[in-house]
Structure 1
């Protein structure tokens, strides 16, 4: 194997490792990380991504990144899918949208990962205080310093050093005896402003990639159906990432006003193990959503403001009961013990005293109310089929039911029409599978 082939292989493995660590460090991006396909391509100056999830990296440039920097770049490209950058970038303002989203994404990632954008990446300190549309307008009107029309990353910073000519070669320069300098050829990095890659960009760079499609559901489907299914899967994964990131971040800042994201460790093997906290935070935020909105004068209102002449009632959260539909189909066997333990800890923190658990697989296997302290030793029934319809119907008959948590791997059947109560879905992602988001309720993905 020659040196060029070795470099391509090393870059492919390094990029895949960085993408795997994005899953662990930022679980809300896990679904997108499962769908995208990495392409190591010397003709791309740095890195970029297409609307259909082709994630390109230049091998020499990417191998020049440190471990945390590689994770940063991978996460940055996935965030372009989260923000729907390709769809929002029209023909006349594609570069402006690219820059605006680069500013916003790098502001988010620097907060989360604790490092500045690698390779002199684009940076605007208060980008998180402005919308992309506002930043685009400022760029067009000249009301903000516009960066050079180049890629978001500095290609020169990662380009290998050029060989220095020998004194003999310098002496022969300009004569017919001078050695012929090797042409860069078709694999030379080309000018590619921005990392929102389009089909036109790939054509201009003479890059051809096979059409990516999800496996057909049946033999009767067409290739076009498969491509459409992949596009829908990307859209759902992007929507889920955006909503989950918003929920978890809001919960963190609500419960801990001084919260800042921990700094990224430089050891990839350590990063790969720290997925426990996001699971607990997601559980806590979902349980908080289901808390009753009952007011009491025993707790002062947070909206009292400067008023001193009246007392407003505050929210009461203590001593309330949690409604839980538990998917006890066979595929849930391995994850239920740990999840019930985590739910107990999160529920107690939210003031839950009792949990009504309706277990369902083919039908309702059990319906009982247990004390929160006895949840870890709770006896689970079922481990059969995957139909939660009867459990939904059971709670619909109770006029006092206002909010329900559903814990499932989403390989289930459930009512197509929304029930007469709010639903918070806790979706289990085992082995990084991609659960399908229902059309109603709040959807939160748990990485276990």
Structure 2
């Protein structure tokens, strides 16, 4: 395709783009389809308006088109999702490099009419190297890869081939099961201990959702969240999680444990006008101080330009709830927003901790996070602690709180209580000797 400067009118829409995919599939035995989703772009239009949003999208589209050095077809799948077809390309290494190239390029902000926007992306890729081309299956595999990229806690990129096992049938069944799961009490909270890194005592926990599925066994949150999003049930699932956390705190008090709990909150809930009222109701109903609940936000949500999100966070903080930014450093942190945001904790992304001894830059990033925490008078929490060596280095840096497999994975309620009642824990079990 001859590359030219695009306008909103000349970017092929979904139907025109799918035709291009079909044409490429008929002409080439090897090809790849890349779906590129602009992360949290709805915040741009909410904050700045549709005109500004369209200008940013247009700039993104033109930059993306220019970044691909080889033949390609380009189009717009939906509002903030673009598609790229790469005829003759199926190399996993090349496609991964292209993703990294895109991310690196977009570290520089976009500007329009006095507004700035730093674009980040979820990217899903499907590649075909052998076999018959099936348009419907090919596009659905790319969409499945994009979903996986959105759900991954490690990187915003996922790649599938046409030979990878499709999960579509199981996903549809999960969607149908979710309503029943809420009604039949199949959902359960697990608790990953937060530990004082000096005394090694449990001081709280992060709540993590699990699903005791009658046929599939214990399921992790990804499938649950996908089903909830598809059924527009994220609020219902979120409030179930919050109420379960309040109930757990009542149980902890009965066991003589004065602990706090952190709960991951979805963007959908932050846009719910009843969130503040519902949390006040739960606090009154269970007689639990709101200061014992911490809401964990992903970095892109916490640092979004959304006025609604900022208003909700300010109200929640004023009520006494603690606000933390999860996976800090995983994205491209806009430090200006960190400066202006009222938060109680920064959770350092686990990749920096798990690779702490591999590269001195990881230590420098953690030290920088501690300095930011000190300046903002907020706690800094290290995730992903797996070794004694990591623990020692974090102590040297001055990180006071952490969680990770060195202490315990996420465990059921009763098992967590037994662990929290132990004096000192290491490796998920009581340890009487304190680590020097």
TM-score bracket for this pair, using the shorter chain length: under 0.3
Q: TM-score by structure 1 length?
A: 0.25
* Length-normalised TM-score, structure 2: 0.26
